[in-house]
Structure 1
């Protein structure tokens, strides 16, 4: 074991000591093989000699590492670059784990990375890094001789650190880029005779171009060391994965022998180009879009409208929605303004400005007409189209939960209207809706979704979900034919990019599969295009788009850093009880000191259920199947778990009993099941299911009696999210029978007259533990409470009172954050921080050149 002691001059401030111990303990909870293990942190009394004074010493007790620092390996041992890149891939994994836990190192440098004698990289000094951020004092000279006195070591500071600006995890990315540069060049990226000289160069200059370095590695270093944090690699996880790929194929990589433009130099060129675009945008854009290889791929980012955010899905903050125009000259995306107004925006590729498309309020999943003059989309439970040059949106068909559309040159729109069922077709001008294909009963097919026409306007690809040996796969079909053919296993949507490259999603990453143009059969193995793109489990949607002009767009997966929190009745966050992760902004089941909720797993592309110990703040994964496991509730006696899963192609209801290895399917969904309650007496499981001819219907399963499920409330409207009062006398639910979502109660279990609780909109009803109050979310994302008492013949309902506005960033409509009410009056809810870096869309031109010429 090794001991690290805080110097006495840093121990004079109680605040600094508190931060030291807090950060050290946070580091001790990381538990990652590439992070120094911290066993304990605290203070003790020591006496230098028998007669000397007693001094209080603050310490960190950590594992003893036998090995060398990365600085020694780079400069003294001259270790091969391939080996160092491998060590740095390990270290990046460790830092990524810290970032997921909300810890920024702030002092990454070769001295703080050690490699053990058996080849394991260890990142050191998480405990001191945050303590030593002191904006009121900046003793830069002292930092060179004593570890951790300020934000970081001068030569590895990011530009924002060097200027005293707030920093986040991307500052660590820059420092890591500087370490990579030093490993490749065997010299520091920035040096000078004095600290001010070094700081000036970090802020204003580019490092000397590298020579004799693999091109892939150099490109990675340039991206990591971008002056503007928005232009850097946005996560350490992405950096770690890229390094791992580079290390594994190091010998085959092409060495970069020419000088590359730095980001600053390229930025100057782009500024000039932007001015030229203002004069002749169409001509230059035409040249850019019609040029052919050999050209290097060109990538740039599209940010959301000023003050707004890109619209994403409730169970994935990175699943942005956008579509490149067929000619590759424009992009349509869905964004939400600060006021919560969600609509489609249009941006020309050759422009930096976007404009909103009026008439597309509440839009989802846009797709283009072949001529680029109109857009189809889903909104208000309908399929719609709109001319981008003006005019009102036209309703084409019912689509309760649209799962993608595509528009052929023959004027046919192919679309998925719901979470289950076949693809449908309709003339783009309007007309009858008819099935385009039939579900294949021989393989238990449940859903066809995310269709995309091929250039001939007849054939198309789509995602098929079934219960056979390949439950998720891309198939091809043709208008007017019932014949289909499986192309490739996939976890999500697919599009043809160019004449013969099929893009699809697998395990959260974007792949390309070469196809035979005539037969559409796969040729060779699929190749990874981008690791870790935005992906929404449950609906199985990957955030990418392609045109036939060798252009693709995608959104990278980023950790939204959502946490589970205790909140009081005034909206004050009392305590965080989970690590930051992509926790679903969805159903939370509270039972005693444990909570059950879902979490998106970006590396595997699935949604799993996790049990969180609210006392210790420790989460344990419950489901591990290669499927999406969504809402879950423990039985009142704690011996069974009811949950929904799409392992058989649609979200059915399952049961897992303690001690049993296999799960039992309780109910096969007609549409899509949403589990919402298990009554306190254990008699009924309550859920909703979307019917074929009705909206969302409320069902109850008499579990204790062993009887089949029966509909409790079935109407043409959408009744959802039902929950039974603790005494079992009332059932609360939301319904759109008035045209707006409102909260209602009626007697349970036999039903009766419904009574409206909310007055101006309401979602997600939750009973208080004593059953005397019913909480719900208003259309302004506020928690409101209404009193409920009396009997079924004469219930007494009080006027709802707003308690507080829900904290954090709210999901876009129609999604609402879920929450649970504890017996002591507190609320448990997932909070999304408002200060996360905004998501962006990456556009890549000439992207296939990398596939054609990997070396």
Structure 2
């Protein structure tokens, strides 16, 4: 053994192995610094590390063989010039190169440690998984050419939902792909260049990860399910319709908003019995569980972020002019503002905001109801889809063939609307955060819209049959003695009549009868959703039309006042039903599949309705008895879905007043920002 060691020492094997080990270690340190700058996947670092380890025995063997060859040459008295011997057997050239590499590597590490890290104070943040300082890094992921991120037109009711999620520790990214008109969820490991499909998620949306990153939850029109991130069979957790936001808590309870925000519920991640946390007459979306289950952040239909305490069942306003809120461990709430993504400090002890909100990110694709295509992990990785605010819409005319005609009205954040009986004017709500007012625009005069209400929170305008008055509903959060208002405003003389609407928290006039009665949609009881009532404008008496545990809304009277078409979820999804007026037990279903927002043509021969981004017509007869034909698709397009009825039809049934969303190319890129929380300081 001693002879072998002496031989190894004489042949400089130890020296070569030592130099190689030092250089390899320094290379590994450099790679650890350089590769993250280019967002290289983990396997590259692992592969290079393996090659460096395999190189040690190879270099050792070569050193032995080359030195042995040198001894043989010396034994044969072969004369080789010194400069060639150095080149062949390693000599001073290789030693100089090796020590030169060591010097450069050490210099690089010292500069990185003591100089580069202090060039820009505040430009580095502490990584949550280790103590290494990191700078903010930006890159993007491009989807395959046959995919794009699924947007509102692919979702139930044409209402946008989340299509993007990143896991808690940032190891996985999930996105909902639109592939040739069909939905499917893909998983992209963050250390890989490729995404893989999750078979069994066809038609799914709103992905969300379990805290341990082992499961992915998702939503269909009728269920909430989960599936292993690695692939497998999906498991149904509960039935649920019209889900508007879902989150998986650290206690393995899943909290979600269903029935278009009228109910907040939870379900164990193992399934079982659904637990109702809150029945609401407000529409509450996008639940987010605060640390230690101290509360749940919610967003309502008036763009106010709410704080819900499940222990006492109290909901209170927290942040105005905001939606889609989430808490992060820097002590901030991040949310979609009216112009950009915002952040505000939040104190978990006092459960209140501190200081003023400030903008952090522009250019995030935001759906019309305020859902941003943005997600972030707990360790500082943010992912978002760049794009436009789809809530900024432009009024247009669209004929039955889908051909558009422009209207000289500016783009804006519009709400519900109604055409005058002769279609010469439109009453439209203009939304400013939590407030809205009714304005009237004259198509013939083409002057600026005239303001009808001031500071009333007015929505859901409805012209009277003679065109002299406009009824509208409004929430009234200022006066605690009044739950909601139903006003009738003179369109010309501006005289106002107040109808007692204290039986509801939300009320929308839907249709006028010939004898001066109004059919209204009202949220009167928290556990029933929306119901239909008949209100007499003269004596303010009201009586139920359809009041059940299901949701019924959006009523449209036939011109002869014998029938009413309305939207209901009696079947588990929205469909168009027809009942007699006054009501009897008879009921007809006229929509093919799901549908909403019926509108009876002025001549009584057809009922229009909306199905996502399609507009359909069903031929009907009302004499001698009601009879419905087969629905026909008239046109489809990227038109906004506002609360209430989101379109109006002229007297001839030939033109539709609609709100066109911005031109948005199908998005096929996802932006990634590492260590993004540095932006909050």
TM-score by length of 1: 0.55
Is structure 2 residue 333 aligned with structure 1 residue 527?
no
Indicate the SS of the match to 1:591: coil
Change in CA separation of 1:354 and 1:657 when aligned onto 2, cut-off 3 Å? farther
Indicate the SS of the match to 2:152: coil
Which of 478, 486, 506 aligns to 1:654? It is: 486
Which of 274, 294, 297 aligns to 1:459? It is: 294
Per-residue CA deviations over 1:722-770 (Å, capped at 9, x if unaligned) read 2001221221234455566544433212435223444566543222222
Root-mean-square deviation over aligned CA pairs? 4.9
What is the 5 A alignment of 1:269-308?
273=38, 279=44, 290=129, 295-301=134-140, 306-308=146-148
C-alpha distance in structure 1 between counterparts of 2:314 and 2:332, whole Å = 22
Is structure 2 residue 598 aligned with structure 1 residue 765?
yes
C-alpha distance in structure 2 between counterparts of 1:653 and 1:483, whole Å = 23
Change in CA separation of 1:819 and 1:425 when aligned onto 2, cut-off 3 Å? closer
Is structure 2 residue 174 aligned with structure 1 residue 332?
yes
What's the counterpart of residue 271 of structure 2? 430
What's the counterpart of residue 728 of structure 1? 561
Is structure 2 residue 375 aligned with structure 1 residue 545?
yes
What is the 5 A alignment of 1:253-272?
none
Which of 495, 498, 501 aligns to 1:667? It is: 501
TM-superposed deviation, 1:529: 1.3
Structure (1 or 2) with the greater strand fraction: 2
Contact 2:286 2:325 survives alignment (8 Å): yes
Per-residue CA deviations over 1:136-172 (Å, capped at 9, x if unaligned) read xxxxxxxxxxxxxxxxxxxxxxxxxxxxxxxxxxxxx
TM-superposed deviation, 1:841: 5.0
Is structure 2 residue 164 aligned with structure 1 residue 322?
yes
Which of 465, 476, 482 aligns to 1:636? It is: 465
Indicate the SS of the match to 2:608: strand
Contact 1:767 1:821 survives alignment (8 Å): no
TM-superposed deviation, 1:548: 1.7
TM-superposed deviation, 1:634: 2.2
C-alpha distance in structure 1 between counterparts of 2:552 and 2:331, whole Å = 45
Change in CA separation of 1:575 and 1:404 when aligned onto 2, cut-off 3 Å? closer
What's the counterpart of residue 73 of structure 1? none
What is the 5 A alignment of 1:132-151?
none
Matched length: 561
C-alpha distance in structure 2 between counterparts of 1:731 and 1:568, whole Å = 25
What's the counterpart of residue 443 of structure 2? 614
What's the counterpart of residue 229 of structure 2? 388
TM-superposed deviation, 1:574: 5.8
TM-superposed deviation, 1:712: 1.3
What's the counterpart of residue 630 of structure 2? 800
Per-residue CA deviations over 1:766-820 (Å, capped at 9, x if unaligned) read 22222233334568925334031314xx33x363363x541433679x9999433
Change in CA separation of 1:771 and 1:475 when aligned onto 2, cut-off 3 Å? closer
C-alpha distance in structure 2 between counterparts of 1:449 and 1:572, whole Å = 32
Per-residue CA deviations over 1:208-245 (Å, capped at 9, x if unaligned) read xxxxxxxxxxxxxxxxxxxxxxxxxxxxxxxxxxxxxx
What's the counterpart of residue 518 of structure 2? 684
C-alpha distance in structure 1 between counterparts of 2:242 and 2:341, whole Å = 25
Indicate the SS of the match to 2:411: coil
Change in CA separation of 1:463 and 1:635 when aligned onto 2, cut-off 3 Å? same
Please list every run of 5 or more consecutive structure 1 residues that lacks an aligned counterpart in the other structure.
1-268, 440-444
Indicate the SS of the match to 2:679: helix
Contact 2:322 2:337 survives alignment (8 Å): yes
What's the counterpart of residue 851 of structure 1? 680
C-alpha distance in structure 2 between counterparts of 1:780 and 1:495, whole Å = 29
Change in CA separation of 1:679 and 1:504 when aligned onto 2, cut-off 3 Å? same
Change in CA separation of 1:784 and 1:619 when aligned onto 2, cut-off 3 Å? farther
Per-residue CA deviations over 1:248-300 (Å, capped at 9, x if unaligned) read xxxxxxxxxxxxxxxxxxxxx9999577667469999xx99857785443334
Please list every run of 5 or more consecutive structure 2 residues that lacks an aligned counterpart in the other structure.
1-33, 50-125
Indicate the SS of the match to 1:631: strand
C-alpha distance in structure 1 between counterparts of 2:278 and 2:256, whole Å = 11
Contact 1:316 1:600 survives alignment (8 Å): no
Is structure 2 residue 199 aligned with structure 1 residue 369?
no
What's the counterpart of residue 311 of structure 1? 151
Change in CA separation of 1:280 and 1:508 when aligned onto 2, cut-off 3 Å? same
What is the 5 A alignment of 1:387-406?
387-397=228-238, 399-406=240-247
TM-score by length of 2: 0.66
Indicate the SS of the match to 2:680: helix
TM-superposed deviation, 1:371: 0.8
What's the counterpart of residue 151 of structure 1? none
C-alpha distance in structure 1 between counterparts of 2:264 and 2:553, whole Å = 25
Which of 491, 494, 501 aligns to 2:322? It is: 491
Change in CA separation of 1:354 and 1:835 when aligned onto 2, cut-off 3 Å? farther
Change in CA separation of 1:526 and 1:577 when aligned onto 2, cut-off 3 Å? closer
